[in-house]
A = this chain, B = another copy of it.
Amino acid sequence: MGEDKHHADYANISSSLSKEETLQHILDSYSALASDTTNWVANLSNCSSLLWHAYHSLNTPVNWAGFYVRSKPEELILAPFQGKVACQIIKFGSGVCGTAASSQKTQLVPDVEKFPGHIACDGETKSEIVVPIVKDGQTLGVLDLDCLDLNGFDKVDQEYLEKLAELISETCDWTKL
């Protein structure tokens, strides 16, 4: 990084960028940051910050941006995030995050109230997208974004966030999970 550039500047994202440019900024910034370390906690912590600030630069009212990781064979535990305090433990197959973890398929949920067995960590959340992070056929965790509006996310978000989940899978050392 140049002498006048601070790490925080990765989170200063122009609101004049298109949605695709903003989402590409997340991918590029994540890659640059992950070239410094393979530590998964450090990388997911900075990635949560990138996601939070990128979506806010798009005026999407994201109220939670972060991760759950696999702690036991069929259980997720809370990992780095930005937003309000969250549920710590989610069983595979339970709610939106648990369904993404067990099915290894992205869950794009326009209205969380209509999702069977939705777990409400925050009663204000209206829509959600959860993308599984997979390596060698195993679920490592999930990337989770919540929004205060209905229909907060679409296929464009899904496309870029799935690329981000792949990058995350490849760039981190997962042996200490």
A contacts, CB < 8 Å to B: 6-12, 29, 33, 36-37, 39, 41-42, 45-46, 49-50, 53, 66, 69, 71, 77-89, 120-124, 176
Contacts and interface: CB of A to CB of B under 8 A. Distances in A.
15 contacts: A6-B122, A8-B85, A8-B86, A8-B124, A11-B85, A33-B85, A37-B88, A37-B89, A39-B77, A45-B78, A45-B86, A46-B78, A46-B85, A49-B84, A53-B85
Contact of A7 (B6, B9, B36, B122): B122
B41 A121 contact: no
Contacts of A81: 45, 49, 80
A121 to B, nearest CB: 5
A45 B79 CA distance: 6
A41 B45 CA distance: 10
Nearest to A86: B7
